[in-house]
């Protein structure tokens, strides 16, 4: 018991670890202390001073999020002095804030707005000059609006510590402080990976995705356009949250119904092209393994990871799989194979993807992604954007009947579904590679060694006597750690999966945004991943090479994995990028 201490908070005795903070102790006692800058495990700096408390014997109010507990400590969280301090702090923040709340992207999902309601802010006592603001919308993925920034630094900690990218920081001092890239450059001109984790960390509307909903509405209203849509694996376990369902609720068969009612001509599933990716990437891995190719092979599904590699680790570009992501493979096929199959001019096809990822907006605009003769994917919508479109159209996901995706590009397997969770691409590849190598049926197809929320997972897989060393990393700081080990000769891997976002696509930068309180209460990424594996377990087919639609596309169009047609449409190349090219 020496590692535990007992303290009193608002008259309630609570026993916690001696390493706990007062904020954690209060939570254990059922007492909620308000926070703004705090984000558990990410940003714990006591900067906003919303969490101030009184400590008996103390000379001043103290911030609970960084205040260590001690034996016998007596804490008051709700005294007149504490309440007044919090109100003054909040009013000062509001006095320098863009208060156009009804038109803000975070209206009704804003932590500043919620605290204002909770603390009973009815008027502002401190009107005055507002600091100079910046509006940066040059990035293809992320928009910055510092008129709404509260300087909490949650985005800064996420970018620096979680992602190890560090392209945004506090610039200047005092009243002139602004969170921005170096020299107030645009995010488009710095080595931002477009991952969008800064957006999901932001408590207000200072960061948001580049909105493509107007372009999609226009396409849907154009009688000359044949508008098709693909939905990423992780969307089926996150979109329901936007309609009040529990974290990780599975809405696979509600999505086709909803999207048809929006007006899409065909509703397809990115899981189909995830299966296709496994056929190409699994074959590429075996080719490299058996013929002396560049190893380790590193997955290429995550565009945020690809851009990170191009900027920070260009020496590994030859290791990265040449396979396009499932989004881009689908885009290339829909304007070639599918257009030919149904006899439609590909120039009339407007291809939309619904992704958990803001970096996909950047990816679809890359010059390498026009292999169909057109832009393969015309517009990318995040989970949040498609939710807004459905609500604008009065479509309630919860009241819709179950419907199936359209064929043939809507047929998929459980292997395609698990792409949505960290380790899923690796597991899906191993299911297929094992059976290709051994010519035997794999009895236990669940490679649980590569599942889980650990930042880096390692395993040695025995493929009928062939020992394959694999690693899985999610979050770019973990990717950096793995790559440094490989560079230094400390690890000998054959195959590495890297996803830019913590948790993989289920934790993508375009997913529903949870408040600091919600992120404290539940590991939302773990809940969504559990649902992904449930989807997999319930699928009649669970191996990519068993997908009849994949077999058909090779027989009718592509020929074979790694063949000439596949290389033309489904593979790509990467480029070394400078860190700050405009400063040269």
Q: Which residues are catalytic?
A: 281, 284, 301, 321, 360, 363, 368, 505
Instruction: Give the three-class secondary structure for 403.
Output: coil
Count of CB atoms situated within 10 Å of the CB of 69: 26
CA pair distance 316, 325, nearest whole angstrom: 18
Give percent helix, percent strand, percent coil of the chain, each to the nearest 5. 40, 15, 45
- Cβ neighbors of 390 (< 8 A, separation 6 or more) are 258, 262, 396, 397
DSSP conformation class of 319 = T
Q: Is the peptide bond before 380 cis (omega within 30 degrees of 0)?
A: no
> Could you give the C-alpha distances from 323 to 31, 73, 138, 431, in angstroms and in order?
51, 58, 28, 18
Q: Quick check: helix, strand or coil at residue 513?
A: coil
H or E segment to which residue 7 belongs: strand 4-9
Do residues 36 and 115 lie in contact, with contact meaning Cβ atoms separated by under 8 Å?
A: yes
Per the structure block, which two tokens stand in for 47? Answer: 């900067």
Taking the C-alpha atoms of residue 417 and residue 232, their distance in angstroms, rounded to an integer, is 8
What is the distance between the alpha carbons of residues 252 and 354, in angstroms, rounded to a whole number?
A: 13
Task: Using alpha carbons, select from 385, 375, 405 the residue that is nearest to residue 196.
Answer: 385
Distance CA 287, CA 293 (A): 7
Q: Which two tokens stand for residue 315?
A: 């020496």
- CB neighbour list of residue 209: distance below 8 Å, 6 or more residues apart: 141, 142, 143, 196, 199, 358, 361, 382, 384, 385, 509, 510
- Residue 170 CB: number of other CB atoms within 10 A? 12
CA 224 distance to own-chain centroid = 34
The residue written with tokens 């496994």 in the block is 278
Q: Are 472 and 496 in contact (CB under 8 A)?
A: yes
d(CA 566, CA 279): 11
Q: Is the dihedral of CA 294, 298, 300, 301 positive or negative?
A: positive
Indicate the angle between helix axes 303-312 and 476-487, nearest 10 degrees: 50
């Amino acid at each position: 018991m020496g590692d535990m201490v007992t303290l009193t908070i608002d008259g309630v005795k609570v026993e916690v670890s001696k390493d706990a903070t007062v904020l954690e102790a209060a939570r254990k006692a059922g007492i909620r202390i308000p926070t703004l800058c705090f984000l558990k495990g990410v940003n714990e700096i006591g900067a906003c001073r919303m969490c101030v408390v009184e400590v008996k014997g103390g000379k001043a109010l103290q911030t609970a999020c960084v205040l260590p507990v001690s034996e016998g400590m007596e804490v008051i969280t709700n005294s007149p002095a504490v309440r007044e301090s919090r109100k003054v702090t909040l009013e000062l923040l509001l006095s320098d804030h863009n208060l156009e709340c009804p038109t803000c992207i975070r209206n009704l999902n804003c932590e500043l707005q919620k605290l204002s309601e909770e603390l009973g802010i009815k008027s502002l006592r401190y009107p005055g000059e507002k600091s100079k603001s910046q509006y940066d919308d040059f990035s293809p993925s992320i928009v910055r609006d510092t008129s709404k920034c509260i300087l909490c630094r949650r985005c800064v900690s996420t970018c620096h510590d979680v992602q190890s990218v560090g392209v945004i920081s506090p610039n200047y001092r005092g009243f002139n402080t602004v969170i921005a890239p170096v020299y107030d450059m645009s995010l488009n001109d710095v080595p931002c990976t477009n991952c969008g984790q800064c957006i999901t960390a932001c408590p207000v509307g200072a960061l948001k995705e580049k909105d493509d909903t107007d372009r999609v509405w226009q396409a849907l209203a154009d009688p000359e356009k044949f508008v098709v849509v693909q939905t990423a694996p992780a969307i089926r376990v996150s979109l329901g949250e936007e309609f009040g369902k529990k974290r990780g609720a599975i809405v696979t068969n509600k999505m086709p119904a909803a999207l048809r009612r929006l007006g899409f001509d065909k509703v397809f599933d990115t899981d189909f092209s995830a299966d296709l990716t496994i056929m190409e990437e699994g074959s590429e891995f075996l080719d490299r393994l058996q013929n002396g190719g560049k190893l380790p092979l590193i997955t290429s599904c995550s565009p945020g990871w690809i851009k990170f590699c191009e900027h920070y680790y260009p020496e590994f570009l030859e290791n990265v799989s040449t396979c396009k992501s499932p989004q881009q493979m689908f885009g290339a096929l829909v304007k070639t194979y599918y257009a030919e199959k149904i006899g439609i001019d590909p120039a009339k096809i407007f291809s939309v993807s619904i992704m958990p990822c803001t970096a996909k907006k950047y990816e679809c605009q890359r010059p390498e992604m026009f292999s169909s003769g057109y832009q393969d994917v015309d517009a990318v919508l995040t989970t949040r954007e498609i939710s807004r479109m459905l609500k604008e159209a009065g479509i309630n996901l919860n009241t819709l009947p179950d419907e199936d995706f359209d064929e043939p590009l809507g047929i998929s397997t459980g292997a395609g579904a698990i792409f949505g969770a960290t380790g899923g691409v690796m597991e899906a590849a191993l299911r297929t590679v094992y059976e290709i190598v051994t010519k035997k049926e794999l009895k236990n197809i669940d490679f649980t060694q590569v599942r889980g929320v650990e930042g880096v997972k390692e395993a040695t897989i025995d493929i009928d006597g062939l020992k394959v060393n694999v690693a899985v990393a999610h979050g770019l700081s973990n990717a950096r750690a793995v790559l440094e080990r490989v560079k230094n000769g400390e690890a000998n891997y054959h195959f590495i999966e890297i996803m830019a976002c913590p948790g993989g696509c289920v934790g993508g930068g375009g997913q529903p945004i949870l408040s600091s309180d919600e992120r404290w209460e539940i590991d939302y990424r773990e809940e969504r991943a559990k649902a992904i594996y449930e989807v997999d377990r319930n699928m009649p087919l669970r191996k990519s090479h068993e997908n009849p639609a994949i077999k058909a596309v090779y027989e009718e169009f592509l020929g074979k994995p790694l063949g000439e047609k596949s290389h033309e449409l489904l593979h790509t190349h990467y480029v070394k990028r400078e860190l700050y090219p405009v400063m040269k």
